[in-house]
């Protein structure tokens, strides 16, 4: 991955992104991911995409079955990824 100073950190961050977002990490791991996101655009983007998914799921939770919705949102994100490179 070009432009990333810390590819191992990226691996680490992407594995723990969900826990990070849901505050399920211990303080040490949380700080590590937070610092990585601050310094890495690639992982910051991943995190923001996850945030969008979470918000959409929350916003629409009462309108559709969660699994149906999730797959729709994932498809939407895939489109977003394709268009943004
Ligand atoms: Zn990264």
Q: What's the gap in Å between 46 CA and the centre of ligand 1?
A: 9
pLDDT at position 84: 66
The predicted model scores a pTM of 0.61
Q: What's the gap in Å between 6 CA and the centre of ligand 1?
A: 6
pLDDT at position 71: 84
d(CA 47, CA 58): 16
How is 23-79 classified by DSSP, letter by letter? T-S-HHHHHHHHHHHHH-HHHHHHHHHHHHHHHHHHHTTTTS-HHHHHHHHHHHHHH
pLDDT at position 1: 45
Q: What's the gap in Å between 60 CA and the centre of ligand 1?
A: 30
Condensed to tens digits (0 to 9), the pLDDT of residues 28-60 reads 999 999 999 999 999 999 999 988 888 887 777
Q: What's the gap in Å between 18 CA and the centre of ligand 1?
A: 14
């Amino acid at each position: 991955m070009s432009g990333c100073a810390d590819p191992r950190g990226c691996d680490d961050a992407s594995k723990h992104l969900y826990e990070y977002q849901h505050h399920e990490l211990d303080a040490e791991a949380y700080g590590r991911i937070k610092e990585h996101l601050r310094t890495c655009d690639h992982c910051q983007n991943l995190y923001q995409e996850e945030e969008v998914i979470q918000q959409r799921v929350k916003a629409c939770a009462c309108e559709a079955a969660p699994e149906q919705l999730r797959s729709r949102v994932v498809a939407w994100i895939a489109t977003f990824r394709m268009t943004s490179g």
